[in-house]
Structure 1
Amino acid sequence: MRRADLINGRIPDELLAEVFLRLEGSKSDLDAAALACRRWARTDRLCRRHLRLGATGISDSIAAAVVRTFTALRFLSVDERPPPDNHRGRPPYRRLITPRKRRASSSSEPYHVPERNEPEESESETFCLTDTGLCSLAVGCKGLEKLSLVWCSSLTSTGLKSVAENCRFLKTLDLQGSYIGDHGLAAVGRCCRQLEDLSLRFCEGLTNNGVIGFAELCGKSLKSLGIAACTWITDNSLIAVGTHCTCLETLSLDSEFFKNDGLVSVAKGCRSLKTLKLQCISVTDEALEAVGSFCTSLELLALYSFQRFTDKGLLAIGKGCKKLRDLTLTDCYFLSDKCLEAVASGCRELKKLEINGCHNIGTYGLEFIGRSCSGLLELALLYCQRIGNNALFEVAKRCSLLQTLYLVDMSSIDDEAICAIAQGCRNLQKLHIRRCYEVGNKGLISVGKNCKFLTELSVRFVDRVGDEALVAIGQGCSLRHLNVSGCRVSDVGLTAIARGCPELSYLDISVLQDVGDMGLAELGEGCPLLKDVVLSHCRQVTDTGLSHLVKGCTHLETCHMVYCPSITSAGVATVISSCPSIKKVLVEKWKVSERTKRRASSVLTYLCVEL
């Protein structure tokens, strides 16, 4: 029967609610379902558990409307960071306590950090979430389990106290960039005894008093803690964490004020620690030796910008942390091959290794990894000039399960190493190569012949890679992600990709001087799933090529086309009008007609060349 409702008349409310609950992972599906009819919209309001409020200016009135509309919220995120492409329209984040003031003090502890009771007056304050709005959210969403307040600079301890007193089932709290004081954090510790995950990154209003008070009250339930750039939080806080947070599993620290004492206390007290991320320039070997001795369950270790420890600390890690699966070493200048030898001999379960800017680590150390860690799945080598082909030869021989390989600025790696990886690691799925000038067609041809599971290939500014490589890749692999910016690729190579990789969704062909309209026409015909395309600095691409591209790629969401002299305002208008899913177009402002500006101002992003 025409216009008959065959669904609502037969599905009871309980079953419809269950369907909506199963759609929680897809916001777009939920939004679409809520628009179907009034009953579905009412069901969505009663069942919706996840909600994210973006950076469009969250006023208190919006917060009040949210709690009236969605009564079953469990996970709420408020993120007031400005969009990356537009930093105008909201006041900048205010640094109320500067490192210069901190260093001027002769004491290791501040006598007093004032609570901010009233936000600074500004014309834009009415578009920021304040304590009033947060109190409304807390009273209306008492079942909240996860709350994220990112860069909400107008909030104070008053609002957080309301959250603590009303949302007693809270398990996750992210206060990144919010000016919350000690009293607010203490209230959370006093009331939210189930809290497991706490993030205190860039919380400049906190001192040791707040963290210590929280640890004493709520430390037994805490499993994850992140602290970064908090000037007034020192080792005293970590000592309290080590004493009271005995179930801690994840710790992330980024501060110049942490030294050995705090981390040693954590290592001794938190023996269930599984994840440790450190960027603390004052920490030395003593701290890592404690971690290696007491944290035998450690699975992930990431060390950034360490300049005061040597191989001695990593020797302890290799000796004690037998379950280590993920190791990241970034800008650790005093580490040598000996540390990798120790890790390889002791951490046989290693799955992921990243070495970035560690200039004293060379081929010899990575050879040990290749020989001993046969289960390696991901390897990233960045700016390590002393690592040569022999290291990858060993990886290729014994690490047959390798799925991801990143090589950046590795001048000693050439085609022989890439061929060895292709032949020995046939399960490779992601290959990223950037500025490795000795790599060329030969290595990529071998990848195309042997790595049939490859779905992501990025070869950036490797000028020896050309059409022959892409022909082999197109014939042997079904790519979803391809980046060949700065290579010597023409329409011939692009045509091979278009005909061989119908599932391609991301493509970067910027700075390719020999790609023109023919290549774009082939893409439009052969890659209907393409969503993101970057073709900046392609001098031969014209409006005709764009029209052929968007005719077939109707799902296109982003298009970057700056410094393409043959593309005019007509081509820009063609992209806007032909792609109903378009979200972002990056182009020079003078190439956009007034009509296009009126029709699609929200998706247009302009190249900024003004000084």
Structure 2
Amino acid sequence: MQLPDDCLPLIFQHLDCTSDRESFGLTCRRWLQIQNENTRSLQFQIVYPYTMLKTSSSSQYDTHMSTFQLSRLLNRFQNLDSLSLSRCTELPDSALALLPQHASKLQSLHLDFCFRITDNCFSSVASGCSLLVILSLYQCNVTDYGLEALSNSCLALEDLNVSYCSRISDYGIRAISQNCRHLRAIRISYCGNLTGAGFQGCSQTLTYLEADSCRLEPEGIQSILSGGGLEYLSMSNLTWCADVDGLGFAAKLKVLNFRMCEMIGDDCIMAIARDCPSLQEWNLAVCHGVKIGGWESIASHCHNLKTLHVNGCRNLTDQGLQALRTGCKRLSVLYITRCSQISVVALEMFKVARGNVEVKEEEIDCICPHGAFRF
């Protein structure tokens, strides 16, 4: 009790254990006030039928958060930098309208699965929380109008997730890419109306893009690469596009995910292998269009390739594996399974000749980004 007030915040901030931080305020009213003033991050987890405050991982269940509950929490914690309301599926506009008044300093906001929030409310939040750096709207009902409002207010935005937002188009993405010039990462997977054209003239700061199962067009892919700074690109399940011209502009590209891009052929593979010298990880799982010419080009030109995924590639033969065995000198991990034309002998010869390569005969669902790409 004799400790001065300026010592207690330092003690609280240096508590590494989550349970210790959460129980800090149970000591006395004075310590409770210290906890309230120094809590920077808030998210929720459902324990039916009650909502519990958590500071770690999000719940897999829906959270029932009322306007009154959120108001009390925002009044208690007035110095938040990060707030997650993910899976608050019934959260109304009236609740989110509290953010500009009580949480205007927010830099990170997660609204995943908040189905009831409308564009009008989202526009108000964008203007009132203009310091946002990270925003996740996974599977929300946001439209181009909401994205345009966001781009006009949150100019410091660096990380945006609009995956499964089926109501947005290239118009909304164009507003984001033109106005948010600090944008580093964007996720647009399963947005069926996007062709990629909205990225034309995007900032050089854009280094990370997830666009799985989008209807990207060749011109759209060129637009995506127009900034010249892209290092991570995921375009899995691009089954309707056989022409991916323009990747030659991606000189900085390090990670490329083509998983289940069955239409991609040797011409495209050879161009990428030749023109993307920085490539370190390439996922070609279930890419049946890649044949001997593609595998030989990868072996000859991908001098910095460290990880290669070839699971389920029907046209990877013993000859193609032999090319990979003699090339790709920096290869350290090879994911290979369900390759019906690879003989046991050829695979064993690869393992013997390239003892430094970890051969993983197992399935993985998707490419795993390097830590540098996590924001």
Check whether TM > 0.5.
yes
- Distance (Å, rounded) in 2 between the aligned partners of 1:228 and 1:475: 45
- Distance (Å, rounded) in 2 between the aligned partners of 1:318 and 1:298: 11
Letter in 1 for 2:242: D
Distance 1:242 1:532, change over 3 A: farther
Letter in 2 for 1:374: Q
Q: CA deviation at 1:434?
A: 2.3
Distance 1:192 1:375, change over 3 A: closer
**What does 1:267-286 correspond to in 2, within 5 Å?**
267-279=100-112, 280-286=114-120
Aligned pair count?
347
Is 1:506 the counterpart of 2:322? The answer is no
Is 1:262 the counterpart of 2:114? The answer is no
Letter in 2 for 1:498: R
Letter in 2 for 1:482: L
Identity %: 22
Q: 2:127 aligns with which of 293, 313, 321?
A: 293
Question: In 2, are the aligned partners of 1:471 and 1:496 still within 8 Å (CA)?
Answer: yes
- Distance (Å, rounded) in 1 between the aligned partners of 2:30 and 2:69: 17
Is 1:516 the counterpart of 2:371? The answer is no
Q: Match of 1:317?
A: 150
**What does 1:575-590 correspond to in 2, within 5 Å?**
none
Letter in 1 for 2:69: S
Is 1:450 the counterpart of 2:275? The answer is yes
Is 1:200 the counterpart of 2:44? The answer is yes
- Distance (Å, rounded) in 2 between the aligned partners of 1:535 and 1:292: 44
- Distance (Å, rounded) in 1 between the aligned partners of 2:99 and 2:57: 12
- Distance (Å, rounded) in 1 between the aligned partners of 2:163 and 2:145: 17
Deviations 1:251-270, CA, capped at 9 Å, x for gaps = 22222121212222123322
- Distance (Å, rounded) in 2 between the aligned partners of 1:225 and 1:472: 43
Letter in 1 for 2:116: S
- Distance (Å, rounded) in 1 between the aligned partners of 2:331 and 2:209: 24
Q: Match of 2:293?
A: 468
Q: 1:356 aligns with which of 181, 186, 189?
A: 189
- Distance (Å, rounded) in 2 between the aligned partners of 1:196 and 1:310: 30
Deviations 1:484-535, CA, capped at 9 Å, x for gaps = 1222101222222233234433322222111113432343234333345126
Larger relative contact order (C-alpha < 8 A, sep ≥ 6)?
2
Q: CA deviation at 1:189?
A: 4.8
Question: In 2, are the aligned partners of 1:225 and 1:250 still within 8 Å (CA)?
Answer: no
Q: What is the SS of the residue equivalent to 1:495?
A: helix
Letter in 2 for 1:368: G
Letter in 1 for 2:223: E
- Distance (Å, rounded) in 1 between the aligned partners of 2:325 and 2:105: 50
Deviations 1:141-193, CA, capped at 9 Å, x for gaps = x9982335xxxxxxxxxxx6xx579x74x9xxxxxxxxxxxx99x99956845
- Distance (Å, rounded) in 1 between the aligned partners of 2:62 and 2:98: 19
- Distance (Å, rounded) in 2 between the aligned partners of 1:317 and 1:255: 21
- Distance (Å, rounded) in 2 between the aligned partners of 1:523 and 1:426: 30
Is 1:246 the counterpart of 2:116? The answer is no
The ranges of structure 1 where at least 4 consecutive aligned residues each deviate by more than 6 angstroms after the TM superposition are: none
Q: CA deviation at 1:205?
A: 5.7
- Distance (Å, rounded) in 2 between the aligned partners of 1:243 and 1:143: 21
- Distance (Å, rounded) in 2 between the aligned partners of 1:484 and 1:143: 46
What are the ranges of 5 or more consecutive residues in structure 1 without an aligned counterpart?
A: 1-141, 149-159, 171-182, 215-221, 537-557, 559-611
Distance 1:198 1:518, change over 3 A: same
Is 1:388 the counterpart of 2:217? The answer is yes
Distance 1:143 1:511, change over 3 A: same
Q: CA deviation at 1:340?
A: 1.2
- Distance (Å, rounded) in 2 between the aligned partners of 1:143 and 1:258: 31
Deviations 1:225-251, CA, capped at 9 Å, x for gaps = 967736443222322343343321222
Question: In 2, are the aligned partners of 1:242 and 1:267 still within 8 Å (CA)?
Answer: no
Distance 1:287 1:522, change over 3 A: farther
Deviations 1:370-425, CA, capped at 9 Å, x for gaps = 3133332122212222x3111112233x222211111122234323x2x411x111
Q: Match of 2:320?
A: 493
Question: In 1, are the aligned partners of 2:40 and 2:79 still within 8 Å (CA)?
Answer: no
Question: In 2, are the aligned partners of 1:203 and 1:230 still within 8 Å (CA)?
Answer: no
Is 1:482 the counterpart of 2:325? The answer is no
Distance 1:404 1:237, change over 3 A: same
Q: What is the SS of the residue equivalent to 2:324?
A: helix
Q: Which has the higher helix share?
A: 1
Distance 1:230 1:439, change over 3 A: closer
Output the TM-score relative to the length of structure 1.
0.51
Q: What is the SS of the residue equivalent to 2:122?
A: helix
Q: 2:357 aligns with which of 509, 512, 530?
A: 530
Deviations 1:573-604, CA, capped at 9 Å, x for gaps = xxxxxxxxxxxxxxxxxxxxxxxxxxxxxxxx
Instruction: Decide which structure has the larger Cα Rg and report it.
Output: 1
Question: In 2, are the aligned partners of 1:444 and 1:469 still within 8 Å (CA)?
Answer: yes
- Distance (Å, rounded) in 2 between the aligned partners of 1:480 and 1:188: 51
Q: 2:266 aligns with which of 421, 424, 441?
A: 441
Question: In 1, are the aligned partners of 2:75 and 2:102 still within 8 Å (CA)?
Answer: yes
What are the ranges of 5 or more consecutive residues in structure 2 without an aligned counterpart?
A: 1-11, 365-375
RMSD in angstroms over aligned alpha carbons? 3.3
Distance 1:201 1:500, change over 3 A: farther
Q: Match of 1:564?
A: none
Letter in 2 for 1:293: S
Q: What is the SS of the residue equivalent to 1:330?
A: coil
Q: 1:399 aligns with which of 214, 224, 227?
A: 227
Question: In 2, are the aligned partners of 1:164 and 1:188 still within 8 Å (CA)?
Answer: no
